[in-house]
């Protein structure tokens, strides 16, 4: 049975879709031992043992390979330099290059940078890959995990969409099929080259100690909200013009730990009001978030809605976004989806919360975990949050074509609001 790419289809041609994890490995492992552990983790996941096949009719699916196309390299380069160098080199997902791992050595520590294409899995999946590496490093035998994509059969019946949405998608599909075209790997590499021609990543991060995190939890509890709602409100206040927030949401209902795209997402609209207190704004944000999360239709909307469209039409959205496709239907859907025009989400926050993986593995451990989500084409300000046993880290990922000084001030204002 083939694992077809459906709800995650918009990730296929997205030129900036790389998830980054940076982590310090404690216990003084050798680079060779760590490299061996990474290769064992590749072999233990169908996701990192697969390539993407794209057929002439526009169908795309994962295909198992006998050898992994992922790579692991020992280097002494700075992690930010590695990201800027490697983001410009398109992942050869058609050859199974779904992930690049870098073992960064220095005189006093060893760190690991994981760069993963989103089609290898979501942020939580990459955390589970890190767990596999550490278990292998400690001498444990790690079990093989098949690819586990979420399809409609796995979604609750209560999440079925009203007929309107199916009719809406059908209308787009009819118009698209009048002049339907498909895209190929040459197009994949071309859109990547065009996007990165004059761009590179900027990443700012802030570390909160265990004590700081406890204070944030207490503060949120007193307000009757979650820490995530507290963080979101802090960023909304930092730029009152930001009023649309996108949030990925874990869709694993069976608590599996496989590597795959098993995330859904919600969006919430709220402009920070200076007429209200911070607590009042945060309360409104919290209520709106949980109203969406508590509704199966809203919670799983993306997973239900996107597969209704012709896959090649979804591909065309990105080409229309970057003026590489002259098609009115593509351009219109790009606006509807928030890739063009005024519907682009001003703020994207991916909070992995407390990673449900151990901090120690025998004599080894992980520290200083930093998570950097991708700057996807339908959102402007991209925030990544992850919490481990030694505290919480927040990253802000933006592009070099943005005003770096202004973006830094925006991030600093958000941190002051906490």
Report the relative pairing of strands 99-105 and 71-75 from DSSP bridges: parallel
- Identify the domain boundary among 137, 153, 173: 137
Which of 102, 137, 172 terminates a domain? The answer is: 137
Report yes or no on 244 lying in a domain: yes
Q: What is the pLDDT of residue 341?
A: 78
φ/ψ (deg, to 5) at 165? -65, -35
Q: How far apart are CA 17 and CA 269, in angstroms?
A: 24
Strand (E) or helix (H) holding 269: strand 263-269
pLDDT tens-digit series, residues 148-159? 898 888 899 999
- Return the number of other C-beta atoms located less than 10 Å from residue 6's C-beta: 20
Q: Are residues 180 and 260 in the same domain?
A: yes
Q: Mean pLDDT score of the chain, rounded to an integer?
A: 95
* Strand pairing category for 345-354 and 244-250: parallel
In percent, the amount of the chain with pLDDT more than 90 equals: 93
Residue 251 has pLDDT above 80, yes or no: yes
Distance CA 227, CA 418 (A): 10
Give the pair of three-digit tokens for residue 399. 């592009």
Rg (alpha carbons) of the chain, rounded to whole number: 21
**Shared domain check, 28 and 83:** yes
- Give the pLDDT band (50/70/90) at residue 344: confident
The verdict on 9 and 130 lying in the same domain is: yes
Same domain? For 32 and 176 the reply is no
Biggest CA-to-CA distance, the chain: 62
* pTM for the model: 0.96
Give the bridge partners for 370, in sequence order: 22
Q: pLDDT digits over 278-328, tens only?
A: 999 999 999 999 999 999 999 999 999 999 999 999 999 999 999 999 999
pLDDT per residue as tens digits for the range 393-411: 999 999 999 999 999 999 9
Read off the CATH number of the domain in which 13 is found: 3.30.559.10
Ramachandran quadrant class, 69 (left: phi over 0; alpha: psi -120 to 50; beta: rest) = alpha
* CATH number, position 325: 3.30.559.30
Within 10 angstroms of residue 10's Cβ, the number of other Cβ atoms is 23
Under DSSP, is residue 369 helix (H, G, I), strand (E, B) or coil? Answer: strand
In this structure, the answer to whether residues 196 and 323 fall within a common structural domain is yes
Q: Are residues 70 and 175 in the same domain?
A: no
Whether 345 is covered by a domain: the verdict is yes
Q: 217 in helix, strand or coil? A: helix
- pLDDT score, position 142: 96
Rounded Cα–Cα distance for residues 132 and 135 (Å): 5
The pairing of beta strand 379-388 with beta strand 345-354: parallel
**Structural domain range at position 97:** 3-137
Predicted local confidence at residue 255, as pLDDT: 81
Q: How many domains does the chain have?
A: 2
- Residue 292: CB atoms within 10 Å: 17
Do residues 261 and 376 share a domain? yes
On whether both 59 and 173 belong to a single domain, the answer is no
Provide CB contacts within 8 A for 155, sequence distance 6+: 300, 303, 304
CA distance 285 to 303: 23
- Tokens encoding 106: 């220095």
- 127 and 187 in one domain? no
Establish if 357 belongs to a structural domain. yes
Same domain, 85 and 181: no
Separation of alpha carbons 115 and 104, rounded Å = 13
Beta strand ranges found along 48-163 (DSSP E)? 50-54, 60-64, 71-75, 99-105, 110-117
Same domain, 121 and 211: no
Do 187 and 45 have their domain in common? no
Residue 153 forms part of a structural domain: no
């Amino acid at each position: 049975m083939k694992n077809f790419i459906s709800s995650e289809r918009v990730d296929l041609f997205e030129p900036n879709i790389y998830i980054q994890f940076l982590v310090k490995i404690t216990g003084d492992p050798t680079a060779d031992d760590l490299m061996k552990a990474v290769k064992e983790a590749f072999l233990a996941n169908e996701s990192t043992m697969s390539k993407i096949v794209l057929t002439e009719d526009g169908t795309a699916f994962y295909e198992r390979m006998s050898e992994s196309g992922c790579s692991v390299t020992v280097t002494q380069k700075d992690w930010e330099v590695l990201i800027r160098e490697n983001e410009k080199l398109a992942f050869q997902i058609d050859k199974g290059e779904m992930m690049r791992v870098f073992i960064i050595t220095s005189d006093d520590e060893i760190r690991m940078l994981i760069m993963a294409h989103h089609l290898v899995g979501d942020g939580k999946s990459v955390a589970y890959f890190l767990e596999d590496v550490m278990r292998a490093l400690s001498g444990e035998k790690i079990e093989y995990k098949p690819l586990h994509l979420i399809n409609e059969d796995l979604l609750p019946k209560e999440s079925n969409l009203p007929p309107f949405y199916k009719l809406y998608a059908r209308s787009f599909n009819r118009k698209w099929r009048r002049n339907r075209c498909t895209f190929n790997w040459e197009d994949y590499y071309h859109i990547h080259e065009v996007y990165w021609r004059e761009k590179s990543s900027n990443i700012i991060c802030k570390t909160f100690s265990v004590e700081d995190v406890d204070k944030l939890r207490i503060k949120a509890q007193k307000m009757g909200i979650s820490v995530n709602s507290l963080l979101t409100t802090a960023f909304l206040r930092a730029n009152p013009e930001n009023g649309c927030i996108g949030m990925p949401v874990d869709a694993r209902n069976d608590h599996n730990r496989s590597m795959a795209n098993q995330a859904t997402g919600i969006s919430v609209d709220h402009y920070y009001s200076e007429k209200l207190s911070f607590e009042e704004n945060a309360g409104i944000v919290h209520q709106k978030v949980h109203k969406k999360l508590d509704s199966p239709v809203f919670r799983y909307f993306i997973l239900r809605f996107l597969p209704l469209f012709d896959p090649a039409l979804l591909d065309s959205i990105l080409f229309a976004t970057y003026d590489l496709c002259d098609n009115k239907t593509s351009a219109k859907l790009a606006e509807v989806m928030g890739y063009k025009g005024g519907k682009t989400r001003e703020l994207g926050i991916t909070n992995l919360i407390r990673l449900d993986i151990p901090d120690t593995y025998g004599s080894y451990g992980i520290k200083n975990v930093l998570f950097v989500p991708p700057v996807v084409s339908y959102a402007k300000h991209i925030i990544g949050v992850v919490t481990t046993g030694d505290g919480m880290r927040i990253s802000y990922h933006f592009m070099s074509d943005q005003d770096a000084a202004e973006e830094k001030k925006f991030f600093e204002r958000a941190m002051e609001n906490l």
